[in-house]
Structure 1
Amino acid sequence: MGLHTGVPQLGEEGYTGLDVIRASRIAAAGHGGQILLSSTAAPFISGVEVRDLGTHRLQGLPDLERIHQVLVDGLPRDFPPLRGTVSQLGDARRVVLADDSVLLREGVARLLEEAGFEVVAQSGTADDLLRHVAMHRPDVAVIDIRMPPTHTDEGLRAAQEIREKHPSVGVLLLSQYVEPGYAMALLETSAEGVGYLLKDRVADLEQFGTAVRRVADGGSALDPTVVSQLVGRKRRDDPVDKLTAREREVLEFMAEGRSNQAIAERMFVTLRAVEKHVTSIFTKLGLPASTDDHRRVLAVLAFLRA
């Protein structure tokens, strides 16, 4: 539930305006049982404890919003991070973009800047991308797989060269189609600072921005569609069949590169519950347990590719 006080506009389609959008975004940011207040609504609440959750940028709103939470008996006091917030996604991480489509490139740049990233350079060719990476040393390069001149795998080869020459720079490949082979080629030796997403994911700013940040920070991000294809492959005497539905869900999140904490927040369960699922998964699949996220991703992907 979200509460906001403002001045809506009344038109032929009903109540509209920025304050209506603000109320909607604040409500959508919360979780079940969580009561959120805007900074204008908080002063009107009395007789109960109110917690300041800080400032956040909510999707579709031009300014930062200070959000408060009402604390009352009978409701949880602690919840996962607010949903739909983009103010802390980029946190000034530096990005180089590479796509031969100027329209798409500019669109992605605008989205990333709205999410708090700093786009330091844009490229239309693989060669230009390599020059910009060497010049700017960004935190991450976001690269279209198919680039001039042949529009086949120039982006992939550029990403592999970046990984070899600039290992501190993360690489996130964008693809129009599901091509698991390209994703696996990039992840073959390391899952650190590597990602592969379908271009459709760009439309979901929170999901896209989270993936870019995870790769920039040395993590991995593999598109759920690719993971689903790998998990759904038929194998003889497949150990995956031994997993419960919940364990399969956790397995897919693991393969995407999510940490236990991120999985817990996505599934709305406790961290301890996820840890139990992970232990069970590794036991059933006969994989060596590891607390290192990168080794874990590689182990899971190696199993799924087999």
Structure 2
Amino acid sequence: MNYPIKLISVVGPTASGKTALAVELAKKYNGEIISADSMQIYKGMNIATAKPDEQEKQGIPHWLTDFLPSDKTYSVADFVSDAASCIEDIVSRGKMPIIAGGTGLYVDSLLNGISFEKQERNEEISNELLALYEQNGVDYLLDMLAEFDSESAENLKEQRNVKRIIRAIEFYKTSGITISEHNRNSKLKGSPYNPIKIGLKFEDRQKLYDRINLRVDIMLEKGLVDEAKQVLSNDLSSTSKMAIGYKELIPYFSGERSLDECTEILKRETRRYAKRQLTWFNRDKDINWILVDKFNGFEDILKYAETIIDKGL
């Protein structure tokens, strides 16, 4: 196999249109899609995670979706290993790998060649940290992280991503080195990939937020409440329980809030998540950004993306 491997990545915030664009690019460039979404990996978590159905896939193979029980943990190290295997398989069959998803840590770790020694997750430590978060809030964990890894604490301060903060603390407690030091050492080895990076975002942020609000309404019409009941009745791992779309409905199930109130909370939390995604991806100067609201429809967006890719191939 020739290195570095040429591939395409499609990133951006939730509800920006990544799936549709990735599918059309796969049809154009004889590609197969590798999902980089930390929640679409779980079985039974379909509506809340906007997992593409067979109609949306249009016959394009999608890898790393819908394969893991919700009581199992899944780490960025697992993703990098699994995605690398998928890439090699796709390339060996003469096809183009297309990485598509909004989990920035997954995408960056894969494309930057971050290597991970096979390190088992410590579920006990992870659950202890999750309990501390539920009792004391995210700032408490950030302060804890800053005591030994100020760099990671600073990087995660604006995102306030509880899952990644917990992982950074757990990594140090189990390995004895900080995750920022580990990542620096890994990057020195270089990446086996030569990606063409496409990003979707909006010049007018409110238009993205309107799409998010509409998507939540559609999720409710599709049966999100029933799915949430089912998912919440299962044993959930420390990673799967962080999914947006289920925990926000708990006050409705307990009778503490109305469905309308919980829906507004869900929309707000999804908008906040999108903002965190944009903060993450905006740091990558190699992403070719497409401003969705500056184009006259999907076909024009697709043509522009193809122009970017053709230049990079």
What TM-score, normalized to structure 2? 0.26
Greater helix percent: which structure? 2
Q: Which has the higher contact order (CA 8 A, sep 6+)?
A: 2
What TM-score, normalized to structure 1? 0.27
Greater strand percent: which structure? 1
